[in-house]
Every structure is written in structure tokens, then in C-alpha cells.
Structure 1
Amino acid sequence: MELRTLSLSVFLVALWGGFNAANSQAQVTLDVVTERTPITFRSNDNLADGQATELVHELIAQSDFEYQLYFSPWKRAYRRAETESNVIIYPLARTAERENKFHWIGQITPVHYYLFRLLERSDISVDSLADVNRYKVGVVNFHAHHVYLKSQGIANLEPVNSNRQNFHKLLRKRVELFASSSAGLLTLCEQEKTDCEKFVPALKLEGISKGLYIAASLDTPDEIVARLKAAYGLIEESGLLGKIMGERMNEQDKDRFLEQF
């Protein structure tokens, strides 16, 4: 194990040195796109937020690129990453449908998606996706859960622009199910000063519960992708990834956030 770790270090350092030499010829500016969520945006009210943006900043700085950061609705951000070159998008759920549409730089955090219902709505019973069409489902426009549920033939979807909108629609009983990650719902409960015991998971969305990633648009040159991947490897190996992401870096097969419900 010690020899393997050392070999990886030597490889990454050698690779990194070659990239730095090649980079002396020209500077590249990347467009970085995301939406405003607790994991991406750090406000004056909550300086503990924005870990993913901090990670992306560190990644691009270590890759020796310049970048411009753009916050926009997710559908717009996704379209840019899907159609333009030199675009970095995060946090992007890695799904089978998206696998060949992007270059996957590295994982930000494991993720576990569910359909949640109100605890008091014991009349809502969902044992499989086949049962979901009986209910109105709140989703965020073009998020992984929206695309996934549509692909599974779920018709009663009500897309909005943010998780916060669906959170309040569920509380007001304007929808009966709400698609969210467990960590995302816990964060919303904290921000909205709402007891999370009001919510229970009705169904885990196994098809998209794989992880949130930093990704590059498919038309991004290979040398840029390689430098970003090398930088991610160094950040991960040094322990900086775990330091930045903190408790979000729970084990892949264990949803530590769900245990808090």
C-alpha cells in the first residue's frame, strides 16, 4: 500500500511538471457555471456554505488556469456545458444518460436522492416508481432527478427553478412528493428554520444516487482535461479534498445525512 501511494505521487508530480512546462506558452480562461445552492454559494449569513465552489477554485488555481464564475438557473448552466467548449460545470450528478456527454474531472461528494413526503401524509404510499404517477411531484428544472423521472415515464412532474420553492410547495401541500438529496433537504431545513422530522423518505431514486462531480464540456481540449484531472488527484491525495468538503465526504454506501431524520 505504501509503495502504491508513493508511485501515484511520483506519477502525478511528473505529470504536473510536464503540464506546467507546456502551459508557459499560453494562458487559458475557463468559464465555470453553476447555480446558487448551499453547496455552491457562500453568503455573509452562512460562511460554512459554498464548499464546492471553494474546491473548484482550488482545482483551477492548481491547474494554473484563469476562470470566470457564472451563477445561473441550472437549465441554462447545463445547456452551456453541453454545447460550448472550455466550460466547467458543478455539482453535476453522474448518471448513465450523461456519462458520454462530459469529461468527468472528479467527485465532489457522494449523493443520495429520494422522493420525500410529509410525515403527516401517511395516505401517500410509494413502493416503486410505478406508484409515483398517482401523486404530484416537485422537481427542479433539468436537475438529474427531473431528467431521470421523465425518462421513467413519470408524468405528474411540476418543475421549478430551485429546491427552496419545492420545499415550501410540499409544506403547503401543493405537491405530494419532493425530489431532493438527503443532504440538500437537511440544509434547507436549517436555512428555513423548519423541523426536518416533518419529512420522511418515500422512495430512494437508485438510478441517480451515484455522486456529484466537477465536469468539463465535451469539446474542452484533452490537455486541459488532463491538467484538471491531475490537479484533482493531487488535491485528493494531499487530504485537501476531505478538508474542504468536511462531513459531506461520507462513505459512498452509507447515507449519514439520512440517519439524522
Structure 2
Amino acid sequence: MARLYQIIFVLVSLSLISGAQAKLSQLTAAVGHFPPYIFCDDKPIRGMAVELVETAYQEVGIRVEFKCYPWGRVYNLARESAVDLTFPYLRNQDREQDFHYVAPMLAIKEVFFHLKSRSFSDLMDKEGELTVEDLKPYKIGGTIGYRYGELIDEYDGKYGLSLGKTANLNFKKLIRGRIDLFVESFIVGYYEVSLLEPPFRELITNLPLPISTEKLYLIVSHKHPRRQEISKLFIRGLTMARAKGVKQKLLEKYTLPDTP
């Protein structure tokens, strides 16, 4: 009987080794709804970030299956390597304990949106970074559940952000004059503006000085046995895709402005 167990153990071990060394041909990605980067309501799942990841892996001969879940579940599935990867995430120390940050996919720039009818010359002419005192005269809107960096945290602590449930509601507050400025990422903000009624779209612009600029990453769990291979293939494929101008093509497809 002991001999039989030894044989079974050897066979299982060889099978695992063989499986681990098999060439990757398909991956599974867990994502959440985050337009225009990810549209979970569409079948198949689409969006600028989805198509960028899909194209990058296609360049190296790998198919990606995308599955949508609430973001909390996305994080847990990816952390436990129940799926192969997830995206797009900002880098932070807490998350680095669970995940390997593979490569920056896209830049995300937070800006102030405002009505074109208002000049904000004091902010426009500002040299250097904005301070909370620069923002003191203005009522600023934000979206519930989002953080916008240290400057806006400080403003919120001193003067209080005017919070709305969605970006769409915040843009409506801006149009109605209930807030002076609305802080949102550049690409997401202009996507939301594109959903407004045509007469209102033309009313809105943004201050050129960014509040912050960060990178969005594809990440893989430290627990994943093939994280290094998954990572190297993505970096190689992303480099090839960028050389073909994929990012610009996706911006044009989704009628989005490029992040300066």
C-alpha cells in the first residue's frame, strides 16, 4: 500500500510540474464597472482598459476572458489567485502587500472642471502647486466614495467637499451654480460630459493645472504561481501594442481627449 501511495504521489507531482510548465494560452481577468475604462453592462465586456489589456496579450498569443463583479469581490478573487489578474489600480502600500504591480497601463490626471463662463484667473495664473488656501474661496464638489489626494483631503477637512452620488449629478450641480468646481479625473470627466444633453456639453471645461497625476496598473497576486510569466508577457505585449499606436486608436474610438 505504501508503494502505491508513493507511485500516486510521483504521478501527481509530475502532472503538476507539467501543468506549471505548459505554455500559457488563456488568462482570466476580474474587473468592475468603471466607464470609460470598463463597461460591465455591455456584452461582451468592453472599454478602453479592457481593449488595451486584450490587445497587449493578443500580441503575445494569449486570449483573455474578462469577468465583471463588484469591486470588493474583484479584489478578493484576484488576491486569492482565483483569477489571473485584475486592473486598473492605483499604486498604494497596502495593496502592494497582496499584489505585484506589473506595469503602468494608463495615466490618470485629476483636474478641476468648471463652467466656461467663469475665468478663475487666480487659479489659472498660479505658479507652482495649488494650496488649500488658494481653494478657500470656492465651493468644490466631489463624488461619494472617492479620494482625490492630499490637497483635496485637506480642503475637505477644513471647508468640506460638496458630495454627490455620481459624477453626472456633480456636473449638473456645476451647471446650476451649486458648486464652483468639480474634481474628477480628466478622461472620466470628459466621458461624463459627453453623456450630458448637447447644449450643456459646451458649457464645461477644466483648469489646466492638474491636482495630481498617477498611473493605473495591471496587478497579479503574489500567491499566483505564474505571476512572473503573466507579468513578462503583458509588458512585452503592451510594448508591442503601444508601438502600433493602440492607445491613440482607443482614445479615438471612445471619443476621449488624451491626457496631457
TM-score band, normalised by the shorter chain?
Answer: 0.5 to 0.7
Matched residue, 1:38: 36
Structure 1 gaps, min length 5: 1-18, 250-255
Aligned residues: CA RMSD = 4.3
Using the TM superposition, give the Cα deviation of residue 205 of structure 1 relative to its aligned residue in structure 2, in angstroms. Answer: 1.0
Q: Which moved more, 1:178-187 or 1:26-35?
A: 26-35
Instruction: Please say if residues 144 and 163 of structure 2, whose CA atoms lie closer than 8 Å, have aligned partners that are also in contact.
Output: yes
What amino acid is aligned across from residue 81 of structure 1 in structure 2? Answer: Y
Matched residue, 2:75: 81
What amino acid is aligned across from residue 40 of structure 1 in structure 2? Answer: I
**Distance across 2 between alignment mates of 1:30 and 1:141:** 30
Structure 2 gaps, min length 5: 1-16, 252-256
Q: Which moved more, 1:168-177 or 1:186-195?
A: 186-195
Using the TM superposition, give the Cα deviation of residue 129 of structure 1 relative to its aligned residue in structure 2, in angstroms. Answer: 2.9
From 114, 119, 132, the equivalent of 2:116 is: 119
Q: Which moved more, 1:33-42 or 1:91-100?
A: 91-100
**TM-score normalised by length of structure 1:** 0.63
1:117-170 CA deviation, whole Å, 9 max, x = no partner? 22323468545231334433322344452x545543533224445432322222
Cα distance change, pair 153–210 in 1 and its aligned pair in 2 (3 A): same
**TM-score normalised by length of structure 2:** 0.63
Using the TM superposition, give the Cα deviation of residue 174 of structure 1 relative to its aligned residue in structure 2, in angstroms. Answer: 2.7
Using the TM superposition, give the Cα deviation of residue 201 of structure 1 relative to its aligned residue in structure 2, in angstroms. Answer: 0.9
What amino acid is aligned across from residue 36 of structure 2 in structure 1? Answer: P
Cα distance change, pair 227–102 in 1 and its aligned pair in 2 (3 A): same
Q: How does 1:75-224 map to 2 (within 5 A)?
A: 77=71, 80-81=74-75, 84-86=79-81, 88-94=85-91, 102-122=99-119, 125-126=122-123, 127=126, 128-130=130-132, 131-145=134-148, 148-149=150-151, 151-152=153-154, 154-155=156-157, 156-192=160-196, 193=198, 194-196=200-202, 198-201=204-207, 203-206=209-212, 209-216=213-220, 219-221=221-223, 223-224=225-226
Instruction: Please say if residues 34 and 89 of structure 1, whose CA atoms lie closer than 8 Å, have aligned partners that are also in contact.
Output: no
State the aligned residue count.
Answer: 223
1:21-51 CA deviation, whole Å, 9 max, x = no partner? 625499997561222302222877xx9x712
Instruction: Please say if residues 115 and 204 of structure 2, whose CA atoms lie closer than 8 Å, have aligned partners that are also in contact.
Output: yes
Instruction: Please say if residues 114 and 206 of structure 2, whose CA atoms lie closer than 8 Å, have aligned partners that are also in contact.
Output: yes
Matched residue, 1:236: 238
Instruction: Name the SS of the counterpart of 2:34 in structure 1.
Output: coil
Q: Which moved more, 1:109-118 or 1:152-161?
A: 152-161
**Distance across 1 between alignment mates of 2:91 and 2:55:** 21
Using the TM superposition, give the Cα deviation of residue 102 of structure 1 relative to its aligned residue in structure 2, in angstroms. Answer: 4.0
**Distance across 2 between alignment mates of 1:109 and 1:159:** 27
Greater radius of gyration (CA):
2
Cα distance change, pair 135–35 in 1 and its aligned pair in 2 (3 A): farther
Using the TM superposition, give the Cα deviation of residue 64 of structure 1 relative to its aligned residue in structure 2, in angstroms. Answer: 5.9
Instruction: Please say if residues 37 and 50 of structure 2, whose CA atoms lie closer than 8 Å, have aligned partners that are also in contact.
Output: yes
